[in-house]
Amino acid sequence: MATGLSVQHVLPDSTFTCFVIPSLFSQSECETLLTPAIKNSFQKASSNYPTYYRNNDRFVIDDETLADKLFQKVKSYLPTSIEINNSIQSENGIWELKELNTRLRFCKYAANQYFHRHLDGVHYRSETVQSKLTFMIYLNSATEFKGGRTLFFKTKDTSEIWASYIPKQGDLIVFDHNVWHEGEVLTEGEKYVLRSDILYTRTTLPFQKEHFSGHLGYIWSLLKFDDNTILSGGRDTSIKAWTITGEEKLSLKEHQNSILSLEKINKDTFISGSRDQHIIVWQHFKAIKKIKAHTAIVLSLCRLTDHSFASGGGDNTIQIIDLNGSVLQTLNGHTNWIWQVIKLDKKTIASASEDHTIKIWNIETGQLLTTFTEYTPIISLAFHAPTQQLISGNLHGEISIRTLNENYQQQMLTTFNAHNGIIRTIKLITNNIIATGGEDNKVKLWDFNGNLLTALEHQNFVQAIEQISDNKIISASYDGSIKEWDIKW
């Protein structure tokens, strides 16, 4: 790493790369980057990101020329190579400095806006070209706002701040994607940053592919389509079809962004919902219809009949749609993202929302039948029809089991702590077992009394669970893996 200006190491007691180059960019360079046109182009991030996570504004451009200009400015300060040797085989090896991601994200924070604790996601070009470091220019100084520090933490859950940095115009901060950090809430003024990713490349793949190995980055969704086929959807915009033993059969590419939901409609047909705001109907593994029924991210899909389904979105609506793409009905009532929609019976669905509520709807009349309100967003849902029990998982890792009467009113409620963090998914499996996946990187199996039966572990958030035989489940994670688990009852 060569230097011209002085480099300030933010985490001096750590092996993580995390440093600031003060005043790398001049005031005039910052003003040239943050043009009046860009200042007038910011949009709410809430169409793509939940408000529990971030609520700032942003503007995204793809500019190869500007990215190269910024890269040349910082190149001599960057590690020329990074060696990785960890438990995620697909990341291991020696990575050589390549370039700056051409996707540039301008972010604006105003009073009461924030970006809560997170890890920055890896930008994958391919198996051999990936981002390893975050690149962020502070475009104005903290003299123009209050709050807004960049805070670093040793773990996801600790309350102790490891280090902090007060923004100053023209400073560039570079840090490892694996460092937990947040943009502190602003109390006054406006803060502006420009963020991208520093890409590295390797010439060899020093690992053998495992079963279900092939996605680049986060895996969001799983679906057992039939006895011989598993489907998965990822951040790499692909839907992959696998044999039941994990060998890749097909890779389907029609979406423009992450595939967040997969649902089987009939023996020949499944549907997919994406961050690109579209739903695609697939028949015999070919895309036959692209549907635009939401004005934001499509989060959940739910089969109603062999010819119709419900979808929940980041536009706070539930759409009832047929396979031809016609919207049969729109259900309004939620005031924030609808994380999941599930079927209770032929006439009734339930929805879970960022607005802290579960709502139960009659889909024939559009009538809202019941609302259950919690103190925190509800992220995941399942329904055990034999006992009329509605199971939900929330932002704080709690499972609630509601026993409903014939009018969908609550007769009994049991709540227990299940995960250290958000419960991303709930799946009912053999022998009346509840399987849950959480942001503590764990798959857990429970009985209906809240007794923990088994805990299994990934290297990152667990996003989806599917049962593939009586004694085997699979789970998908942000770590890019699909794992198989033999279950002993």
What token pair was written down for 75? 């190149």
Instruction: Give the end of a domain, one of 201, 233, 268.
Output: 201
For the chain, the maximum distance between any two Cα atoms, rounded to a whole number of angstroms, is 73
> pLDDT per residue over 55-89, tens digit each?
999 999 999 999 999 999 999 999 999 998 876 66
In this predicted structure, what is the pLDDT of residue 89?
A: 65
- For residues 260 and 336, state if they share a domain: yes
- For residues 394 and 270, state if they share a domain: yes
The CA-based angle 473-474-476, given to 5 degrees, is: 150
- For residues 194 and 134, state if they share a domain: yes
- For residues 262 and 382, state if they share a domain: yes
Please, where are the H alpha helices in 273-329? Answer: none
Q: Can you give the pLDDT of all 489 residues of the chain as single tens digits?
A: 445 688 999 998 899 999 999 999 999 999 999 999 999 999 998 888 999 999 999 999 999 999 999 999 999 999 999 998 876 666 788 999 999 999 999 999 999 999 999 999 999 998 899 999 999 999 999 999 999 999 999 999 999 999 999 999 999 999 999 999 999 999 999 999 999 999 999 977 655 567 899 999 999 999 999 999 999 999 999 999 999 999 999 999 999 999 999 999 999 999 999 999 999 999 999 999 999 999 999 999 999 999 999 999 999 999 999 999 999 999 999 999 999 999 999 999 999 999 999 999 999 999 999 999 999 999 999 999 999 999 999 999 999 999 999 999 999 999 999 999 999 999 999 989 999 999 999 999 999 999 999 999 999 999 999 999 999 999 999 999 999 999 876
| Helix, strand, coil % in the chain, rounded to nearest 5 | 10, 50, 40
In this predicted structure, what is the pLDDT of residue 449?
A: 94
- For residues 194 and 288, state if they share a domain: no
Instruction: Give the end of a domain, one of 174, 201, 228.
Output: 201
- For residues 381 and 303, state if they share a domain: yes
Whole-Å CA distances, 480 to 374, 459, 476:
32, 9, 7
**Enclosing domain of residue 363:** 219-486
Which residue type, as a one-letter code, is found at position 297? I
**pTM of the entire predicted model:** 0.93
- For residues 310 and 428, state if they share a domain: yes
Q: Give Cα 468 to chain centroid, integer Å.
A: 24
The CA-based angle 322-261-467, given to 5 degrees, is: 110
The CA-based angle 334-238-300, given to 5 degrees, is: 15
- For residues 465 and 368, state if they share a domain: yes
Where would I find the beta strands (DSSP E) of 275-377? Answer: 279-283, 286-291, 298-305, 308-313, 318-322, 327-331, 338-345, 348-353, 357-362, 368-373
In this predicted structure, what is the pLDDT of residue 207?
A: 57
The domain that contains 463 carries what CATH number? 2.130.10.10
- For residues 184 and 292, state if they share a domain: no
Total structural domains within the chain: 2
In this predicted structure, what is the pLDDT of residue 194?
A: 98
- For residues 358 and 432, state if they share a domain: yes
Burial group, residue 128, by CB count within 10 angstroms (0-12, 13-18, 19+): middle
- For residues 231 and 191, state if they share a domain: no
> pLDDT per residue over 15-36, tens digit each?
999 999 999 999 999 999 999 9
In this predicted structure, what is the pLDDT of residue 230?
A: 98
102 located within any domain: yes
What token pair was written down for 162? 């490891």
- For residues 227 and 308, state if they share a domain: yes
User: What whole-number distance in Å separates Cα of residue 339 and Cα of residue 299?
Assistant: 6
The secondary structure of 181-204, three-state, reads: EEECCEEEECEEEEEEEEEEECCC
DSSP state of 124: B
91 located within any domain: yes
158 located within any domain: yes
